[in-house]
Amino acid sequence: MLGTKANLPDILACLLTEQIDKIYIYQKKRLKLFKFYNKILSHLNIRKQEIHSKCKSSFHLYTIHVNPKIRNKVINFLNKKGISCAVNYKSIPSLTYYKNKYKLNPNNYPIAKEWGEGTISLPFYPSISKYDQLFIANTLDIALRKYE
């Protein structure tokens, strides 16, 4: 990509070869785990990411959207129960660089703002167990009922 230099440190480059060899195995595992999350979270009051039928995902994250008013409370609740989750996506108009460079007002982009303020990435990796996914889903259910 123009303007991007993405050389890896030697140690990471050594590890990458084995990862590339297993990419399709990991992608199949991630797809199964993704579908399992979809199934066990289907009854909760959340929105889930949709992948267009003409797109192919690497399934590297499992993100959900909750009411922005309770997102931080839900994250704190999950963290206190030993579930590490993160905010990986924020809306572009709310990021300092873009706000300053392009004079963006996040309020002019209400849909992006709402999604950015309500997104949570749940634990998701090829070796996550179904037991752990169920624990996460049940704990998330408790948090949502507590704060909604």
Write the CATH number of the domain with boundaries 10-147.
3.90.1150.10
What does the pLDDT read at residue 80?
Answer: 98
Q: Which amino acid is at 95?
A: L
Q: Helix H segments across 8-80?
A: 10-21, 23-40, 71-80
Q: Is 70 exceeded by the pLDDT of residue 3?
A: no
| pLDDT tens digits for range 79-98 | 999 999 999 999 999 999 88
Query: Structural domain boundaries of the chain?
Result: 10-147
Taking residue 113's Cβ as centre, other Cβ atoms within 10 Å add up to 18
pLDDT, mean of residues 107-134: 96
pLDDT, mean of residues 74-83: 98
**What tokens appear for 75 in the block?**
């994250």
Q: Record the pTM.
A: 0.86
Length of the chain: 148
